[in-house]
Structure 1
Amino acid sequence: MPIHEEDPWRLQYFENIPCPDNVIIPTDDPDAWRLYPAHRWIYDKLAVALSQGLEAAPHGVMPPRFPVFSKPITNLRGMGVGSRTIASAADYKAAQTAGHFWCTLLTGAHVSSDVALIGGQPRWWRHTTGVAGPGGTFDYWHIHTKPMPDIESWCGAWAAKHLAGYTGMVNLETIGGRIIEAHLRFADQWPDLYGPGWVQAVVRLYATGDWHYADIDRRDGYSVVLFGPHGARYRHPPADVVDRIRALDGVSSVQITFHEEKAPAHHAMPPGGFRLAVINATSLSAGQAARTILGGILLPM
């Protein structure tokens, strides 16, 4: 399928969308890194920090002030692996790790923004914020209808300067309006919540280099996550149960987000829990109700 999707639970968003055979649309960072060699530098988080004038350097260079934030320079698997706040010089000396860097500790809202770019110029934005849970987990994500002008101004100017010549989707993660991570793809967890015809517009963007999406009926969306404890061996719920939950009023889609045949330890999961399912919904209460039903089936007693 020309829309490359690594996770089988997300194929539902793309499998019935016509896409020319010669058009390749990545939804995964390793694929995007291979496809766009001229722009793959944005997966270098140190380079992204420095491109914005933030204080940053590889481990081995002493920060001039603390606290700072530390993480791997490149991490294509996500999940915040190796990320941490470093509070003092003594802490820094003990924490130094090859391949990591430190940067300014940013504060403010953590926002995930999907952007359609033509030659580096933004043509469409949608912003999402997450409600954090314990240990790197998220309780749910809120897909907003309203623009975020500060982010769009700063990140739009950054994209025009640093991604000139790139046409396609970009996902930018920001804290306090400054970019902490950039991805040459969109967030594939909730494309159904962007509205009817959005995926078709993405296909046209990659096929023709044009962006045409009316986006006249925006609605708030919610992507509600079900986590279970680490260590258990989980089984998928019956298909008819998933179909009944998907049919609930306000529920848009259901993802069962693990491989039943794969050992739990071989899944990339945050320390706070094992992600079992994601429910996309047009109301938070609908997503939470669906999560409760699924939790009663999937979680160990």
Structure 2
Amino acid sequence: MQYFQRVSCPEHVRIPTEDSDAWVWNPGHRWVYDKLAVAMSQGLEAAPHGVAPDAYPVFSKPIYNLKGMGVGSRVLASQADYLDAYQPGHFWSTLLEGEHVSSDVALVDGVPQWWRHARGIASGAGTFDYWEVRPDADEAVEQWCAPWCRRHLAGYTGMVNLETIGGRIIEVHLRFADQWPDLYGGDRWVEALVRLYTEGAWSFREGTARPGYSVVLFMPHGPRYRHPPAGLQREVEGMAGISSLQITFHERLAIERHAMPPGGFRVAIVNCWDRASGNAARDRLRAFFAGAKNEQ
């Protein structure tokens, strides 16, 4: 919500930032949250658990997962892995290789009007060290995904987030990635976003776009973490090269209520224009979380 604080939005206009809202508000296109259907729409080998793969390795995950964060996902290297992982509501599909890209796309009647791509640098077990948000085009993603959007999202106007590996779609979200709008253009971009949902048209003056970084802080599973003091948050936000800070958990909710990957509990995201500055800010926050007296 911090990105909307300085931009006016009509009260009746609904702009989803959560998949649960996007699913409710877009009944005609909510099928895209069926990951098995998305895989099959691209001609990938895929089937629900109960139909064994003909060859390995494959990738397994829930057919539906509106919480995200890679929950329940794993590589199946053998029949023994498949039998061990078997679970109703899950499916397997082609194990894709290549760069993991998160792309936000502004669509008008399913036709792409604007793209922005973020490349994830993985740190293991479903976690990411940082994302690089770059203004340049990604031909592998756009050449595959633009025709897919025109065919499968005709009639839809709004933002869509596409996660791809090697240019093939692994997930579709009827929303934008709310992790880094400040790196897209801040208030000007949010104003264009509001116009997209109010007027059904995209008009964003890009200006001089530059690459940015979204540095992620994961801490060990187990403790019940508390938010950093407001003074520390202001200190981090005021560091040179820092664009924004997000604390990414609800301290009043039990830890099991948060969807997190096996590799860690995500506590913060630091958006920055210089990755070294982002790393320094992350280290400052890590010191707080490591030293704070958190509940077990």
Give TM-score, length-normalised by structure 2: 0.95
**1:176 corresponds to:** 166
1:272-291 to structure 2, matched below 5 A, reads: 272-291=263-282
RMSD between superposed Cα atoms in Å: 1.3
**2:215 corresponds to:** 224
Whole-Å Cα distance in 1 between the matches of residues 142 and 265 of structure 2? 33
1:144-155 to structure 2, matched below 5 A, reads: 144-155=134-145
Per-residue deviation at 1:279? 0.7
**1:117 corresponds to:** 107
1:38-57 to structure 2, matched below 5 A, reads: 38-57=28-47
Whole-Å Cα distance in 1 between the matches of residues 37 and 131 of structure 2? 28
Confirm or deny: 8 A CA contact 2:108 2:157 kept in the other structure.
Answer: yes
Confirm or deny: 8 A CA contact 2:70 2:260 kept in the other structure.
Answer: no
1:156-235 to structure 2, matched below 5 A, reads: 156-196=146-186, 197-235=188-226
Confirm or deny: 8 A CA contact 1:112 1:173 kept in the other structure.
Answer: yes
- From 83, 87, 103, the counterpart of 1:97: 87
Whole-Å Cα distance in 2 between the matches of residues 12 and 158 of structure 1? 32
**2:231 corresponds to:** 240
Segment of structure 1 superposing worse, 87-96 or 217-226: 87-96
**1:3 corresponds to:** none
Whole-Å Cα distance in 2 between the matches of residues 244 and 94 of structure 1? 47
- TM-superposition CA deviations, 1:147-194 (whole Å, max 9, x none): 101211110000000000100000000011000000000000111110
Confirm or deny: 8 A CA contact 1:222 1:284 kept in the other structure.
Answer: yes
Q: Which runs of 5+ in 1 are unaligned?
A: 1-10
Whole-Å Cα distance in 1 between the matches of residues 254 and 67 of structure 2? 18
Whole-Å Cα distance in 2 between the matches of residues 90 and 43 of structure 1? 28
- TM-superposition CA deviations, 1:43-64 (whole Å, max 9, x none): 0001101100111111111222
- From 74, 98, 113, the counterpart of 1:84: 74
Residue 28 of structure 1 pairs with residue 18 of structure 2: yes
Letter in 2 for 1:120: G
- TM-superposition CA deviations, 1:30-75 (whole Å, max 9, x none): 1000000000000000110110011111111122221111111111
Whole-Å Cα distance in 1 between the matches of residues 146 and 291 of structure 2? 46
**1:300 corresponds to:** 291
Segment of structure 1 superposing worse, 129-138 or 32-41: 129-138
- TM-superposition CA deviations, 1:91-136 (whole Å, max 9, x none): 3233321111111111111100000000000000000011111321
- From 54, 57, 62, the counterpart of 1:72: 62
Confirm or deny: 8 A CA contact 2:71 2:259 kept in the other structure.
Answer: no
Per-residue deviation at 1:89? 2.6
- TM-superposition CA deviations, 1:220-263 (whole Å, max 9, x none): 11111112222223222221221121111110111122222223
Confirm or deny: 8 A CA contact 1:116 1:211 kept in the other structure.
Answer: yes
Letter in 2 for 1:140: Y
- TM-superposition CA deviations, 1:198-225 (whole Å, max 9, x none): 0110100000011001112111111111
Whole-Å Cα distance in 1 between the matches of residues 276 and 59 of structure 2? 35
CA distance 1:199–1:176, change in 2 (3 Å): same
Confirm or deny: 8 A CA contact 1:195 1:217 kept in the other structure.
Answer: no
Q: Which runs of 5+ in 2 are unaligned?
A: none
Whole-Å Cα distance in 1 between the matches of residues 79 and 251 of structure 2? 44
Alignment coverage as a number of residue pairs: 291
**1:257 corresponds to:** 248
Q: Give aligned-pair identity as a percent.
A: 61
SS at match of 1:133: strand
- From 7, 11, 14, the counterpart of 1:17: 7
Segment of structure 1 superposing worse, 176-185 or 13-22: 13-22
Segment of structure 1 superposing worse, 169-178 or 243-252: 243-252
